[in-house]
Amino acid sequence: IEVLDWVDSKGGYAHLSVGTVNDAGLRGTLATRDIAEGETLAYIPRELIVEFGAPAHDKPPENAARLLARQRRDPAWHAAFLPYWRSLPAPASRAIFCKEMFTQRHRDLLQDAEMAAVVVEETGVARQVYNGSSSWWQRWLGQAPPVSLQGLLPEGAAHKISWQEFAHTTCHVGAYGFGCRGAWGGRRVCLVPLLDLMNHAAPDLANVIVHQDEGNGSYGCTATRAIRAGEEVTQTYSAAALRSDYSLLHYGFVLDSERPLLAGLDHMARFEHDNDDLYLQHQSLMSHEEAQRLSGILASFPTTEAEDLQLLQGTGAIFVPPEDLRLRRVSEVVPVNRELVGI
């Protein structure tokens, strides 16, 4: 597809094709040749990456407003990224569905008051950004999103964007965005063409990790095990996406898994709040209290960390570097071999 040639023409590469990966017609990425473990099978240069937001406010609706505004204010930029926009599911296509598109009927199906509250709260923020319905003092007091579609676009231009288009863009930014390091430091949300066509799989099934070069901001994708030509290429989006409720609400899918990862203690409604320091954000499926309890049990084990490490090395498993291995095991559900990709 066009986006592959575009990446190629801009100095990137990918040993990937885009195609149907299951009987339900899901689209995803496939290896075009055999890939060895540790090989970097895709490289996306910095200039193809779309970056938004600031650390304090990087919610999908605000970034959607920034994206839509930039597309309209800067037609040359929009045109330069056409192959990327065309690679994404069209609005109203069944390939993309998340909470911004929920109707009352979908909310009722949740059968869970807290999840329904998350939907109401987050779509409420999206509505505020779309309508620009908050006053300057609400924004100043932090009671409303700092960005509105009207505020970013010239007079009258915001009205030409329908709620459906806005909800679709919010869903796209949320479900296709990557956490990245901004050009001037700080955490941002980025859109990474082509690599965002990879589907999610649990860590034991995923075969690549996606990483950003700290120096030049480019993105790479490295095989965590050997991949055969034609095999689907998948990554683990985040530990949070291993939870059925989280993946359903934010991405519109649920993985087949023997044990659904759900617990009352770490309900996603809490999980989502950045300033709730009771919970370990976007990393663990538990509260700090629970992490401390489990850490205490691990600390009382008869073997040392070094001995555990030796055992793990013998298995060829991918694991985090030795320092505080046990404690990290508690707080990081998805271990990442940073050495493998040199980050």
Ligand X SMILES: C[S@@+](CC[C@H](N)C(=O)[O-])C[C@H]1O[C@@H](n2cnc3c(N)ncnc32)[C@H](O)[C@@H]1O
Given the rule CB under 6 A, which residues bind ligand X?
A: 26-28, 89, 95-96, 175-176, 196-197, 199-201, 251-253, 255
Nearer to ligand X, 87 or 287 (CB): 87
Find out whether 333 and 284 touch, Cβ atoms under 8 Å. Answer: yes
Which of these, 163, 9, 134, 5, lies nearest to 17 by C-alpha position? 5
Shortest Cβ distance from residue 337 to ligand X (Å)?
Answer: 22
Find out whether 152 and 63 touch, Cβ atoms under 8 Å. Answer: no
Nearer to ligand X, 10 or 27 (CB): 27
Shortest Cβ distance from residue 279 to ligand X (Å)?
Answer: 24
Cα separation of 44 and 219, whole Å?
5
Shortest Cβ distance from residue 251 to ligand X (Å)?
Answer: 4
Nearer to ligand X, 27 or 72 (CB): 27
Shortest Cβ distance from residue 312 to ligand X (Å)?
Answer: 27
Nearer to ligand X, 94 or 105 (CB): 94
Shortest Cβ distance from residue 28 to ligand X (Å)?
Answer: 5
Find out whether 100 and 123 touch, Cβ atoms under 8 Å. Answer: yes
Structure-token pair, residue 29: 């990425």
| Helix/strand/coil for 16 | strand
Instruction: Give the CA distances from residue 160 to residues 69, 163, 168, 248, 259, in Å, rounded to whole numbers and listed in that order.
Output: 11, 10, 15, 31, 46
Which of these, 251, 240, 246, lies nearest to 198 by C-alpha position? 251
Report which DSSP code applies to 266.
G
Q: How far apart are the first and last CA of the chain?
A: 30
| Helix/strand/coil for 49 | coil
Nearer to ligand X, 200 or 286 (CB): 200
Dihedral angle at the C-alpha atoms of 247, 252, 255, 259, nearest 10 degrees? 50
Shortest Cβ distance from residue 103 to ligand X (Å)?
Answer: 18
Nearer to ligand X, 126 or 286 (CB): 126
For residue 193, what are the contacts with CB-CB under 8 A and spacing of at least 6? 3, 6, 7, 44, 48, 49, 81, 83, 84, 87
Give the pairing type, strands 232-235 and 199-200. Answer: parallel
For residue 145, what are the contacts with CB-CB under 8 A and spacing of at least 6? 57, 59, 61, 62, 125, 128, 129, 134, 139
Nearer to ligand X, 141 or 205 (CB): 205
Nearer to ligand X, 196 or 290 (CB): 196
Nearer to ligand X, 192 or 330 (CB): 192
Shortest Cβ distance from residue 289 to ligand X (Å)?
Answer: 31
Shortest Cβ distance from residue 124 to ligand X (Å)?
Answer: 21
Shortest Cβ distance from residue 159 to ligand X (Å)?
Answer: 29
